[in-house]
Structure 1
């Protein structure tokens, strides 16, 4: 299936939902050398990758896809798109230069511990155990999207930590959308390497990589699609907004990247958190359609 232009609503993973035959609510498939869980419910369609417990596709019934995903995935490594889970650090590791950016969480296979369907949608719980750490990703999907990442640190010593839910939101074209809710927020612009303060709505022109001291509600307004998404980053330390602009992305072809804006919830981006033995950490990302 060829990739359509950035104005298309088609998603590479919608191929799993073209059958006219009845499909089970949960079904494992193999796609681009990854195990993916296909979810087909009356309230929504979704696809998770076992690698990273990564929600790659989400489409409430009667709506356009909410998440963007690259059409082609690398043979190994992280999949670009959906909602990658950065864990247990964000960005580069503070002490080990050879360790992968954004942690091991998005590279390892998670275990699907629970999956239930109900009238309003589906509920899932993914789990990853690594050394003295345990991460649980809870997902409630229906007409809205609700993700919650819970971490338990059970080591005998305090440990540095960071986590993020790096959502790639599907849009008509990055040049035609506006992000509202950051007016007055202070942060750091990674491209200019300087402090910044947002004035009014944020529109991406020529690329964006900003880390804002912000938590809570945002609105992604897409006039072309006549859609407004309310994005809630919960009580995270930071809201990160990223787009490469005209810079090429490895494995992403042509104008494909014009079809997303990454708006993510994260904590421990600039300064790592410190978790004491037995301490929990939580991060959430929610989205609803504004009617």
Structure 2
């Protein structure tokens, strides 16, 4: 039910998961869920066919973890964009399959110094998915932000609708953004928005696959909607021309705009639950 594999060498150990409820792949590099497919469903996560497995570089697709900061290094110290979690090797602490076929895995990224934070990631994979990222701060106050940078697989990006964002203010970072139909959101072309503050529940409807992904979040007051659009994707070596049509990123985020500062020893928990249903259910 759990099997280790090394398709890209010893630096990139995978855990392959197969249960009565789902199949999945997890990379211990980055603690990154690469694939999750509930039985009888289309894949829920998108992995780039051009993803690069290079030490020090983030993997394109699945659910990269942005931690303990989202965006640029808040100290301007030259540290990696979106934090160290997605370019670090995590430890698999435990794994089990429950009686109902749900796979439960827990991973850890310890602090390198007493003043630094540590992190644990708990995954529950079955017909639904729960991702729980727990941060325990070290001995110094920590300006904190984080994200589940989820790449959701869609039949056709142009036929995807996002609901639950009506009346939520947002900032658009795409310089070449085209007009999008709003309320509900029909993204088109390059979109790069941070919604803050947001509601707890957001739905991603795939009109061609007749599928709805229901995202329920806690410990997160922000949400990012991102797709590079055709022109930008064509120039991205780890995406490529035309592949942007197969995904939409809808990200559970504790954003810098929230100005979260963790006190010494404080604990922060961010959760995203993904349920899959048919349109009209």
Same fold, judged at TM 0.5 (above): yes
2:123 is matched with which residue?
Answer: 139
1:286 to 257, 273, 280: 273
Q: The residue matched to 2:273 in structure 1 has which SS?
A: strand
Distance 1:122 1:271 in 2: 33
What is the aligned partner in structure 2 of residue 79 from structure 1? 59
CA positional deviation for 1:258: 1.1
Displacement of 1:72: 2.9
Match in the other structure for 1:167? 150
Shift, 1:97, TM fit:
4.8
- 1:185 corresponds, among 154, 168, 172, to 168
**SS of equivalent residue, structure 2 residue 34:** strand
Maintained 8 Å contact 1:111/1:126: yes
Residue deviations 1:61-112 (CA, integer Å, cap 9, x gap):
1111000011233233110111111001000012225211100000000000
Residue 207 (structure 1) aligned with residue 190 (structure 2): yes
- Using the alignment, how far apart are the partners of 2:182 and 2:239 within structure 1? 31
CA contact (8 A) 2:219 2:254 kept: no
Q: Greater shift after overlay, 265-274 or 168-177?
A: 265-274
Q: State the alpha-carbon separation in 1 of the partners of residues 251 and 222 from structure 2.
A: 8
Alignment of 1:33-182 (within 5 A): 33=9, 34-74=12-52, 75-76=54-55, 77-120=57-100, 121-130=102-111, 131=113, 132-155=116-139, 157-182=140-165
> In the aligned structure 1, how far is the partner of 2:219 from the partner of 2:180?
20
- Rounded to whole Å, the distance in 1 between the matches of 2:181 and 2:122 is 32
Kept after mapping to 2: 8 A contact 1:68/1:168: yes
Report the TM-score when normalising by structure 2.
0.89
Aligned 8 A contact 1:182 1:198 in 2: no
Q: In 1, Cα distance between the equivalents of 2:2 and 2:256?
A: 35
- Relative to the length of structure 1, the TM-score reads 0.86
Correspondence for 1:4: none
**In structure 2, C-alpha distance between the alignment counterparts of 1:256 and 1:119, rounded to whole Å:** 38
The 2-side partners of 1:174 and 1:73 are apart by 19
Q: What CA RMSD, in Å, does the superposition of the two structures yield over aligned residues?
A: 2.0
Q: Once the two structures are superposed, what CA deviation does each residue of 1:98-132 show, in whole Å capped at 9, x if it has no partner? A: 21110000000000001010122111101001233
